[in-house]
Chains A and B, each alone.
Chain A
Amino acid sequence: MRFSRAVWYVPLVLALVTGLGLVLALLLDGPVGDICGIVGLGVPCGVICRCLLRATR
């Protein structure tokens, strides 16, 4: 069974953003670190909201 690589693009980007955001939030002091954390988890949360809204419409 062969699968297109494209199926992994979005999950990989999401994992990268999440991991990087959480680590930078820990390493950087002040609001810059806080923003990194919010972006890191905000992107997957935003994707969840968007896809659920799209699906229920």
Chain B
Amino acid sequence: MTSRALRRWRWLHKWSSVVCTLFLLVLCLTGLPLIFSAEIDDLLDPPPAAPVAARAMAAHVDETVRQAYHAWPGQRVRLAVFDADSARVVLHLSPHADDDFDRMHELAFDARTGALLRDGAPAGDAVMDTILQLHVRLFAGLPGELFLGVMGLVFVAAIVSGVALYAPFMRRLRFGDIRWRRSGRLRWLDLHNFLGIVTACWVLIVALTGFMNTLATPLFGLWQIRDVAPVLRPFAHDAPVIPATPLSAAMRAAEEAVPGMTTRFVTFPSHRNGSPDHYVVWTQGRSKLLSRFMTPVLVDATSGRIMFVGKMPWYLRFLEICRPLHFGDYGGLGLKCLWGVLDLATMVVLGSGLYLLLSRPRHPARLPDAGAHGLLEEEAA
């Protein structure tokens, strides 16, 4: 590497890190509890029973809908979520069919018996939701999401430039050497380089998949405009119907239309993210990978006939593959714990980078060699 190239990499690493470090620290900090969100949810709201088979989830679903209408007369069921792992059916209701999602409240039922477990959000839900909102969009809606996407790309530049700088800084050290007995700055420099290179691949994967996740809203919007809107156009001016077809029948019809898939959640007739005349049954595959691939099926809420099976475009399939690689929720608790350890290691890399930047000598011109290799010479001293 020439001196000029080294200078350029250092410039890129310094400024890309300056731009994104504080935001990345927020993301790492908020990401830590989110890794264990399923475990935290189970702790705050223990599941009623052991997991049930996905097919058994529909057994009492019509009864749960009846109970919801009885408990909240005049309200509309908007969304039914099926969680086979915790044997729960969660229904979301709102006063009107087209209300905002933040006006909905939820009721949870035991999937095996149809018994009401709770009316309202579980304890601690608001805390986890606040953490999620901060992590995903910095409380700033879509602009916040896209801003974090840009920060993700800047972070990728910081990682790549950091990897490029690894060799010059490690030329006189064995892999993993940390000079604890030297100055604090050298100690943190070694720790920064060591943890940075060990976690580089994981961090790069999480950063790139995080960037993809920030594009979820625009990509789903693009798909809705290009592929879904033409199908729903004839129904655009209809008022949302009250379904005559039972939910269980709609689920059965959808699962027959897409063999090998099971229902994950269903949106009831509405203009918001759905159709005023149809259930939208979102199905997923059964294997670990295919369970990430969602296929929506439109079922007529009056006749129960299949109206449309959505074919997801490649960019949404790619997004669906990226999600588990960002969340780390596909390999059990062991993988989540290791994900958490690497998240902590990344925080140390970010913090040490900040320390190295702030602890730079104020008058570099007085150093023996303040040129392109100033830090290298200091490191070698």
A interface residue numbers (CB < 8 A to B): 1, 3-4, 7-8, 10-11, 14-15, 18-19, 22, 25-29, 33-34, 36-38, 41-42, 44-45, 47-48, 50-52, 54-56
Contact = CB atoms under 8 A, between A and B. Distances in A.
Interface residues on B, range: 35 or more
Nearest to B200: A15
B82 interface: no
Interface stretch (B18-26, B226-234, B325-333): B325-333
7 contacts: A7-B167, A26-B330, A34-B332, A37-B332, A44-B199, A44-B202, A51-B176
Given A34-B331, A38-B338, A10 B175 contact: yes
B205 A22 contact: yes
A44 B201 CA distance: 10
Interface in B1-22: 1-3, 6
A39 B276 CA distance: 48
Interface of B: 1-3, 6, 163, 166-168, 170-171, 175-178, 180, 194-195, 197-202, 205, 287-289, 321, 324-325, 330-332, 334-335, 338-339, 341-342, 345
Contacts of B289: 26-27
A5 B23 CA distance: 34
Nearest to A14: B198
A41 B330 CA distance: 13
B6 A1 contact: yes
Contacts, number: 103
Contacts of B198: 11, 14, 44, 47-48
Given A4-B171, A55-B177, A55-B180, A25 B330 contact: yes
Given A37-B331, A44-B199, A54-B176, A3 B287 contact: no
Given A26-B325, A56-B180, A34 B201 contact: no
Contact of A11 (B166, B177, B202, B324): B166
Contacts of A45: 338, 341-342
A25 B1 contact: no
A47 B176 contact: yes
A50 B175 CA distance: 12
Contacts of A11: 163, 166, 175, 197-198, 200
